[in-house]
C-alpha cells in the first residue's frame, strides 16, 4: 500500500500527481472466501478491517449492491458521541469514539475527526432530570460527560438563543470529546486498508439469494455469479430485513427514512455540535461552512432515500427558535437515509437461526458514530463464532428473553 504523508503529497505535486496508486482494488469475485460480508458501508468495511487486523483472516470479500459507502455511511450528519445511559450502549459507543481518535493514524487515511464537543440541550425540566441522571451513569461507566448550565451553553455556542419563549435552554449534557468526522473518508479509509490486506471489495454486486445446506449458510447468489463462503455476515443497514428474509428468518426491525438537510456555506459561527431533542433537531457546521441539519424519521416504513417536505418545515421551524440566525439561510439540498430500527432502539449483533450466518443491524439513527466499535465487535463475533464482551448484550435472543436495552426511553432520542 502506498503510504500517505506530507512528503508523498509534496513529491506528487512536483510530478503533477501522476504517481498515485488506486486507493483500493475493484476485482471480480473469486469462487470462494473464508468470509463474505454483505454491505460495503462503514460497518461492513470496519468488520473486514478488524478481521484482518486482529485475527489475520484476510480471504474476505466485501460485496455491495451499489457503490462503496453509497448507503447510510454517506447519508448521515456525522455526529460522534458516547453519552448513552445503558451500560452496554455506553461501552460499545465509547469504544467506537476512542477508536475514532486514532483511526487516521491506524489506517493512514485522514478521516477528519474533529473532537469539537457535543451538547444535548435540556429544554424542559424532565430533560434536566434525565441528563443529570445520564451524566451520573456516564461517570460510573468511565465516559467523560457533565451537565452544564445555560451560561456555559451560551459561552460554548454564542449563536444559541437560550431564552426561547416556548423552549428556553435550561442546561445541557456536554461531552467535550465527542465531535464529527468526514463520513465518506471513513468508508474510503477502511476500504483502502482492507484492499491493502488482500481483501476483495466487489461493487455493483447485488445479492439475490442466500445459499444454504443442512441449516448452514454456504454462500450467496449475486448478479456477478455464485460466491461460496465458510462464514457469511449480513451488514446492510436499512435492507437487513430483506437479506434476512432471503436467509429464511425474520428480524424485529422496521426500515424508515431519516431526514437531513444542509444550508449554503457561511463564515464560521459554530464550533460545537448541538442536539435539541425536545424540538427534535440537531446542527453542526461543516469544514466547508455549511450548516448540517438533522431531523426525524418518516412516520411510515419505506426504502426511499429522498427528502420529505414536512420535515423541512418541522425541523427548521423548531431550530429557528433556538438558532434565530438560520432563518435567513438558504437550504442547498435535502436527503434521506434508510435506517433499520429495533423496538428498543439498540442494535443487533449476533448469530442467526441460520448456521454460519451472522448479523449486524438495527443501529437505527445512530450508526455512523458506532462504526469502529461495531466493526471490532462483529469481527470478534465472526472469528470466535459467538459474541465477545462488547456485543454480548446485543444478540437477537434478547427480544425473545425480554432483555431490552431501551435507549429510546432512556435518552429520549436515538441519534
Domain residue spans of the chain: 25-78+183-252+344-411, 114-178+255-341
Per-residue pLDDT, 406 = 87
Give the CATH fold of the 25-78+183-252+344-411 domain: FAD/NAD(P)-binding domain (3.50.50)
Better-predicted residue by pLDDT, 260 or 186? 186
- Tell me how far CA of residue 25 lies from CA of 73, 107, 183, 196, in angstroms: 20, 16, 20, 9
Would you state the cell numbers that stand for residue 118, as one nine-digit string?
A: 457535543
Per-residue pLDDT, 414 = 43
Q: Per-residue pLDDT for 133 more than 50?
A: yes
Report the alpha-carbon distance of residue 166 to residue 79 in Å, rounded.
26
- What integer is the mean pLDDT of 151-159? 96
Report the alpha-carbon distance of residue 340 to residue 237 in Å, rounded.
6
Q: Quick one: what percent of the chain has pLDDT higher than 70?
A: 98
Q: pLDDT class for 373, splitting at 50, 70, 90?
A: very high
Whether residue 375 contacts residue 367, with contact meaning beta carbons closer than 8 Å, is answered with: no
CATH placement of domain 114-178+255-341: 3.30.9.10
Average pLDDT, the chain: 92
Per-residue pLDDT, 409 = 54
Q: Per-residue pLDDT for 410 more than 60?
A: no
- What integer is the mean pLDDT of 18-40? 94
Per-residue pLDDT, 411 = 47
Lowest mean per-residue pLDDT among 62-66, 333-337, 382-386: 333-337
Report the alpha-carbon distance of residue 207 to residue 38 in Å, rounded.
8
Report the alpha-carbon distance of residue 367 to residue 255 in Å, rounded.
14
Q: pLDDT class for 159, splitting at 50, 70, 90?
A: very high
Lowest mean per-residue pLDDT among 70-74, 106-110, 270-274: 70-74
Per-residue pLDDT, 208 = 97
Better-predicted residue by pLDDT, 94 or 305? 94
Q: pLDDT class for 301, splitting at 50, 70, 90?
A: confident
Report the alpha-carbon distance of residue 68 to residue 326 in Å, rounded.
33
Amino acid at each position: 500500500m502506498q503510504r500517505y504523508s506530507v512528503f508523498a503529497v509534496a513529491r506528487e505535486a512536483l510530478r503533477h500527481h501522476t504517481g498515485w496508486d488506486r486507493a483500493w482494488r475493484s476485482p471480480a469475485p473469486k469462487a470462494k472466501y473464508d468470509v463474505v460480508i454483505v454491505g460495503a458501508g462503514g460497518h461492513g468495511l470496519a468488520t473486514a478491517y478488524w478481521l484482518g487486523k486482529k485475527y489475520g483472516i484476510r480471504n474476505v470479500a466485501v460485496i455491495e449492491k451499489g457503490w462503496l459507502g453509497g448507503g447510510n455511511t454517506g447519508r448521515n450528519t456525522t455526529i460522534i458521541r458516547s453519552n448513552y445511559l445503558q451500560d452496554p450502549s455506553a461501552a460499545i459507543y465509547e469504544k467506537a469514539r476512542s477508536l475514532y481518535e486514532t483511526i487516521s493514524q491506524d489506517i493512514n487515511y485522514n478521516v477528519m475527526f474533529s473532537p469539537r464537543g457535543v451538547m444535548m440541550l435540556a429544554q424542559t425540566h424532565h430533560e434536566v432530570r434525565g441528563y443529570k441522571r445520564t451524566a451520573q451513569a456516564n461517570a460510573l461507566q468511565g465516559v467523560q460527560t457533565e451537565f452544564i448550565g445555560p451560561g456555559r451553553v451560551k459561552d460554548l455556542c454564542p449563536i444559541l438563543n437560550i431564552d426561547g419563549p416556548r423552549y428556553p435552554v435550561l442546561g445541557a449534557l456536554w461531552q467535550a470529546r465527542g465531535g464529527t468526522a468526514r463520513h465518506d473518508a471513513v468508508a474510503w479509509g477502511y476500504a483502502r486498508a482492507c484492499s491493502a490486506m488482500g481483501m476483495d471489495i466487489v461493487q455493483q454486486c447485488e445479492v439475490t439469494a442466500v445459499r444454504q445446506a443442512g441449516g448452514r449458510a454456504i454462500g450467496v447468489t449475486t448478479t456477478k455469479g455464485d460466491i461460496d463462503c465458510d462464514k457469511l455476515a449480513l451488514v446492510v443497514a436499512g435492507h437487513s430485513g430483506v437479506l434476512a428474509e432471503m436467509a429464511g428468518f425474520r428480524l424485529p426491525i422496521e426500515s424508515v427514512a431519516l431526514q437531513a438537510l444542509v444550508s449554503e456555506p457561511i463564515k464560521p459561527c459554530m464550533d460545537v455540535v448541538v442536539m435539541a431533542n425536545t424540538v427534535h433537531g440537531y446542527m453542526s457546521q461543516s469544514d466547508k461552512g455549511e450548516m448540517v441539519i438533522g431531523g426525524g424519521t418518516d412516520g411510515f416504513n419505506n426504502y426511499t432515500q429522498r427528502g420529505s417536505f414536512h420535515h423541512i418545515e418541522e425541523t427548521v421551524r423548531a431550530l429557528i427558535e433556538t438558532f434565530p440566525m438560520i432563518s435567513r439561510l438558504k437550504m442547498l439540498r435535502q436527503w434521506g437515509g434508510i435506517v433499520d430500527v429495533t423496538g428498543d432502539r439498540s442494535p443487533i449483533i449476533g448469530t442467526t437461526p441460520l448456521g454460519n450466518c451472522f448479523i449486524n443491524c438495527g443501529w437505527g439513527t445512530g450508526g455512523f458514530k458506532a462504526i469502529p466499535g461495531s466493526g471490532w465487535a462483529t469481527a470478534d463475533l465472526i472469528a470466535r463464532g459467538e459474541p465477545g464482551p462488547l456485543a454480548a448484550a446485543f444478540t437477537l435472543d434478547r427480544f425473545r428473553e425480554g432483555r431490552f436495552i431501551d435507549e429510546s426511553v432512556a435518552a429520549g432520542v436515538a441519534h
